[in-house]
Structure 1
């Protein structure tokens, strides 16, 4: 099922970047208002996450298991979570997040590019012009 997208963002780190399409959800509005955002990457298995400095409420449709390339907001950690493969708590090959997350959209490129992000890398998120 395709979700209508309202905005595009770019997530950059020292050796690459990925663009993402965000759906028009209450959660996606909050981080976008704070862009551009500079943070520090953390890795957890095959997931990159980073603090956004903002809190949002968990939506009713929050998910713990998502597809690779999902852009999710981890409400318990005030962080954007970008899974591209299994995490330490995954069962099999699934992308299992640390807890229920609000899914904001999807990465437009190959999510496996996130494997080049190193723990502690600077990360920048910016809004792309429509």
Structure 2
């Protein structure tokens, strides 16, 4: 980040594993950080993990679709969305979310680890100390 700022980092944990992510300094990232830690229930949609955050935000400028390592905020569902492959509306191997999302940052490590997440499992999101 510019100016030597340390990016927000979060840990996303589920029964079979965890990933960390670096978040950009955006209004949505700040709103999410203020709500952490949180525990929610996973919902799967193709190869996308999403879950309710209890955070409600507006669409930011540049809201868009995603690639496989994106940490996105699905505005229509007040949910964090973590795509790692095709969804039911994808064309080919693309990651296509149901609607434009606020992009918060990127997963660190292999987004393929999300394949171990199961629908209905608990998920925990916490802010990491920097």
Whether the TM-score (by the shorter chain) exceeds 0.5 is yes
Alpha-carbon distance, 1:5 to partner:
5.7
* Counterpart-to-counterpart distance in 2, 1:59 and 1:89: 23
Give the number of the structure whose residues are more often helix, by fraction.
2
Alpha-carbon distance, 1:60 to partner:
1.6
Q: Is the 8 A contact 1:19 1:109 kept in 2?
A: yes
* Counterpart-to-counterpart distance in 1, 2:9 and 2:109: 12
* Counterpart-to-counterpart distance in 2, 1:30 and 1:86: 28
Which stretches in structure 2 are left out of the alignment for 5+ residues?
Answer: none
Please, what is the CA RMSD of the aligned residues?
Answer: 1.3
Residue-by-residue CA offset, 1:21-65 (whole Å, 9 max, x unaligned): 00001110001000001000010000000000110000120002x
Alpha-carbon distance, 1:122 to partner:
0.2
Q: Which residue of 1 aligns with 2:118?
A: 118
The structure 1 segments of at least 4 consecutive aligned residues displaced by more than 4 Å after TM superposition are 2-5
* Counterpart-to-counterpart distance in 1, 2:61 and 2:105: 16
Alpha-carbon distance, 1:85 to partner:
0.4
For the residue of structure 2 that corresponds to 1:71, the secondary structure is strand
TM-score by length of 2: 0.95
Matches within 5 A, 1:25-40: 25-40=26-41
TM-score by length of 1: 0.95
Give the number of the structure whose residues are more often strand, by fraction.
1
For the residue of structure 2 that corresponds to 1:50, the secondary structure is strand
Which stretches in structure 1 are left out of the alignment for 5+ residues?
Answer: none
* Counterpart-to-counterpart distance in 1, 2:30 and 2:64: 18
Matches within 5 A, 1:42-121: 42-64=43-65, 66-121=66-121
For the residue of structure 1 that corresponds to 2:9, the secondary structure is strand
Residue-by-residue CA offset, 1:80-116 (whole Å, 9 max, x unaligned): 0000000000011110001000000000010000000
